[in-house]
Chain A
Amino acid sequence: MTDSSAIVVEGLRKHYGATKALDGIDLQVAEGTVQGLLGPNGAGKTTVVRILTTLLRADSGTARVLGFDVVRDAQKLRGAIGVTGQYAAVDEKLTGAENLEMFGRLYRLSGRTARARAAELLERFELADAGGRLTQTYSGGMRRRLDLAASLIMRPRVLFLDEPSTGLDPRSRAQVWQVIEDLVREGTTVLLTTQYLEEADQLAHKITVVDLGKVIAEGTADQLKERVGGARLEVIIARGGDLSAAGGVLARFANGEVNTDGDRRSISAPVAAGAGVLPDLVRALDEVSVALDDVAVHRPTLDDVFLALTGRPAEADPKPDPEADHRADPSGPADGLDPEASGSGGPGPETGPGERELVAG
């Protein structure tokens, strides 16, 4: 445990009946960073957040946030952190301003301060015009922003976000991401859970992959991607181009075997460097007079990472969620996904979807 750790978790275990929700989780989050907790539904992400935010007690293990023990110093901790759960937890029959003011009062601000802070936050989250309207008239994105605003009333040094963009359309998601990035720039430590690989990639400095209550991998997005191999360079050469000459050029950039697919006029090879090689590559191909239809560096996605780590795709076993219908899937078509793995193949989880759902609670 160091001074710079905002969150320190050791050996966290929690079970519901015979189901192990958490099976020994360790976690350290440095102050001022974004930690992503990535995993499918039922992996135990929400359970971790609930324990860290004093909503649930672990069976064993310890957790400290900002030096406060989550059990012994629960009351002090509650005043120092911000929490946004999976649902936009605002009162629909109150206006946006009334919601924020109420939460401010419950943080024990004076009425005047709570009102001033509410106005400040509405302004910041572009809700000032809607502040006097009942939140039941808000769009999903507006509600989510209000929810986020509510968790920021006390300018918490640590913010917990449980699936912050679940159910949002792409534009609202971008707004939420922007807010998170701003907060981190101001020095806030963020722990966010997500099942959207793109989100962890975009926001998190460090990602912890959890599955079935255990940490199965940890590192930066790049480190995790390296575990499934580096980037892959692919060129499609123009009709009539010299395949073997192009293959020769690619071999100079590759750190492995060059594959040539004559039918698709595609040549590909693994490369150590990323997209930085492209200008040199294009120039070199030009020198041997090979014209290109397409050129790309494919970086492994976190889908690939998850598949490599668990033997099954991250987005399999979708949760029978009542909100699933109107939930936008920001990961979009999983283009990096192995077609074989996106079927029902691969070893399934030990427990059925129903039981795993229970764990997510």
Chain B
Amino acid sequence: MTALDLSPVAGRGRLGWSLSDAWVMCRRNLVKIPRTPELLVFSTIQPVMFVLLFVYVFGGSINTGSIPYRDYLMPGIFVQTVVFGAMTTGLGLAEDLQKGLVDRFRALPMSRGALLAGRTLADLVRNVFIVAVMLLVGLAVGFRFHHTTVIAALAGFGVLLFFAYAFSWISAVVGLSVRSAEAAQSGGFIWVFPLTFASSAFVPVANMPGWLQVFARNQPVTQCVNAVRALLIGGPVTSAALQSVAWSVGILIVFVPLSVRSYRRAAVR
């Protein structure tokens, strides 16, 4: 064997290496997206079915006042879609853990947060794609932007995707804590279901019983839905947007260190 010079690249700082490692991991997951089209198809079919279900089955019975229901619904669908989409982060990590890949990565001189950062970033890219598809679906069933500007609408999608990114990190902790990908799958959805349905995503909170309203009004999904809705179809923006962003920041502050800690401690089975 001719001796290939294997000296590592020199002169990159700690931060530079962390970014470079994260990019290697992100690219790994991006490359895999088109190779698992079934994952992408399923994560799009489900929200499409929700759209059809709510627009054509339940929609007629839901009173959203002066706002047409499909306009009311779509921002909620966007949030539900990205929150569900964020669950793939935990799924992927649980799989890496199960297959021994996490051990391999941990035995490499790479940065400790790179696997997680790369994974969450790749999932964010997936989410961008899925949101784009959902927007087209929305437009097809009659959703229209109102009382907004291009910048406000873009800000709405920004708030949405930032929220999704934060949820990826919660999912990461779940994925690294359970013993199998299957457990990550069900464990991931158990807590996401009440969050998305007991929120303003599909019905106005005011129509819920009093005790549920207390929960629904004060939980992050509602804040995000309200912010995105206001930015896409008009309404009071500031409070909801600030609260949604604050939730996302808060989630990141808590769950990024928690995920990294789980990663360091993770052991196969």
| Contact (A361, B269) CB under 8 Å given A78-B107, A107-B108, A109-B9 | yes
Please tell me if the beta carbons of B32 and A106 are within 8 angstroms of each other in the complex: no
CB distance from B93 to the nearest CB of A (A): 13
| Contact (A108, B4) CB under 8 Å given A53-B107, A94-B32, A102-B24 | no
Q: How far is the CA of A332 from the CA of B4 in the complex (A)?
A: 41
Partner of A361, one of B20, B101, B108, B268: B268
Q: Which size bracket describes the interface of B in this complex?
A: 20 to 34
Tell me, yes or no, whether B21 is within 8 Å of chain A by CB: yes
Q: Which size bracket describes the interface of A in this complex?
A: 35 or more
Q: How far is the CA of A359 from the CA of B99 in the complex (A)?
A: 19
Tell me, yes or no, whether A211 is within 8 Å of chain B by CB: no
Measured CB to CB, the nearest residue on chain B to A150 is: B104
Tell me, yes or no, whether A324 is within 8 Å of chain B by CB: no
Please tell me if the beta carbons of A110 and B9 are within 8 angstroms of each other in the complex: yes
| Contact (A85, B268) CB under 8 Å given A54-B107, A55-B107, A107-B109 | yes
Tell me, yes or no, whether B151 is within 8 Å of chain A by CB: no
Please tell me if the beta carbons of B101 and A91 are within 8 angstroms of each other in the complex: yes
CB distance from A292 to the nearest CB of B (A): 50
Neighbouring A residues of B106 by C-beta, 8 Å: 54-55
Tell me, yes or no, whether B140 is within 8 Å of chain A by CB: no
Neighbouring B residues of A185 by C-beta, 8 Å: none
Please tell me if the beta carbons of B268 and A102 are within 8 angstroms of each other in the complex: no
Tell me, yes or no, whether A277 is within 8 Å of chain B by CB: no
Please tell me if the beta carbons of B6 and A106 are within 8 angstroms of each other in the complex: no
Please tell me if the beta carbons of A56 and B267 are within 8 angstroms of each other in the complex: yes
| Contact (A94, B31) CB under 8 Å given A109-B8, A150-B104 | yes
Contact flags A91-104 to B (C-beta < 8 A → 1, else 0) = 11110001000110
Tell me, yes or no, whether A327 is within 8 Å of chain B by CB: no
Neighbouring A residues of B189 by C-beta, 8 Å: none
Neighbouring A residues of B35 by C-beta, 8 Å: 93, 134
Q: How far is the CA of A91 from the CA of B32 in the complex (A)?
A: 10
Partner of B4, one of A54, A90, A102, A116: A116
Please tell me if the beta carbons of A55 and B267 are within 8 angstroms of each other in the complex: yes
Partner of A155, one of B6, B31, B99, B114: B6
CB distance from A197 to the nearest CB of B (A): 25
Neighbouring A residues of B114 by C-beta, 8 Å: 106
Neighbouring A residues of B269 by C-beta, 8 Å: 361
Chain B 97-137 interface residues, beta-carbon cutoff 8 Å to A: 99-101, 103-110, 114
Contact flags B133-157 to A (C-beta < 8 A → 1, else 0) = 0000000000000000000000000
CB distance from B42 to the nearest CB of A (A): 16
Neighbouring B residues of A275 by C-beta, 8 Å: none
Tell me, yes or no, whether A63 is within 8 Å of chain B by CB: no
Tell me, yes or no, whether A239 is within 8 Å of chain B by CB: no
Neighbouring B residues of A293 by C-beta, 8 Å: none
Tell me, yes or no, whether A113 is within 8 Å of chain B by CB: yes
Please tell me if the beta carbons of B107 and A108 are within 8 angstroms of each other in the complex: no
Neighbouring A residues of B36 by C-beta, 8 Å: 93
Please tell me if the beta carbons of B31 and A86 are within 8 angstroms of each other in the complex: no
Contact flags B17-47 to A (C-beta < 8 A → 1, else 0) = 1001100100010011001100000000000
Chain B 251-269 interface residues, beta-carbon cutoff 8 Å to A: 267-269
Please tell me if the beta carbons of A120 and B107 are within 8 angstroms of each other in the complex: no
CB distance from B240 to the nearest CB of A (A): 39
Tell me, yes or no, whether B1 is within 8 Å of chain A by CB: yes
Partner of A79, one of B8, B28, B104: B8
Most buried by A among B36, B107, B110, B267: B107
Please tell me if the beta carbons of A113 and B5 are within 8 angstroms of each other in the complex: yes
Measured CB to CB, the nearest residue on chain A to B104 is: A89
Contact flags A43-58 to B (C-beta < 8 A → 1, else 0) = 0000000100111100
Q: How far is the CA of A79 from the CA of B6 in the complex (A)?
A: 11
Please tell me if the beta carbons of A109 and B108 are within 8 angstroms of each other in the complex: no
Measured CB to CB, the nearest residue on chain A to B180 is: A322
CB distance from A152 to the nearest CB of B (A): 11
Q: How far is the CA of A91 from the CA of B102 in the complex (A)?
A: 11
Please tell me if the beta carbons of B267 and A107 are within 8 angstroms of each other in the complex: no
CB distance from B60 to the nearest CB of A (A): 43
Partner of A103, one of B5, B108, B268: B108
Of the A-B pairs whose beta carbons lie under 8 Å apart in the complex, a sample of 24, sorted by A's number, is A78-B107, A81-B107, A85-B103, A87-B100, A87-B268, A88-B100, A89-B100, A91-B32, A92-B99, A93-B35, A93-B36, A94-B31, A98-B31, A103-B108, A105-B24, A108-B109, A109-B8, A117-B4, A124-B1, A134-B35, A153-B6, A361-B267, A361-B268, A361-B269
